[in-house]
Amino acid sequence: MRGLVAQGLIRREPDPHDRRAVQLHPTIDAAHGMARIEDAWAELFADALAALPSDQRGALVDATPALRALGATLRHRRDAHPG
């Protein structure tokens, strides 16, 4: 954690309910870094998708609702059980 704090990616705050503990929060720099990573992944996926035959692209389009539901479930689980 100290390394992430030193890099400006995590900020530590005293826990208002327990002075022995601290709360960790991502910084704006961390959020921007994650956005850059997500953009890079999106570009890779778009390039790979464009290289697929049309029937396989169509199968993925048909699977889009299920993939969105999967993503929503994963986000919900992440948010419900952080760290």
At 7-32, the pLDDT tens digits run 999 999 999 999 899 999 999 999 99
Q: How far is CA 26 from CA 1, 10, 68, 83, in A?
A: 11, 5, 25, 12
pLDDT of residue 55: 97
DSSP H/E element including 23: strand 18-26
Indicate the SS3 state at residue 13.
strand
Domain-wise residue ranges, the chain = 1-51, 53-83
Q: Which two tokens stand for residue 50?
A: 């464009």
Q: How far is CA 59 from CA 17, 42, 66, in A?
A: 51, 19, 12
pLDDT at 81 over 90: no
Distance CA 39, CA 60 (A): 20
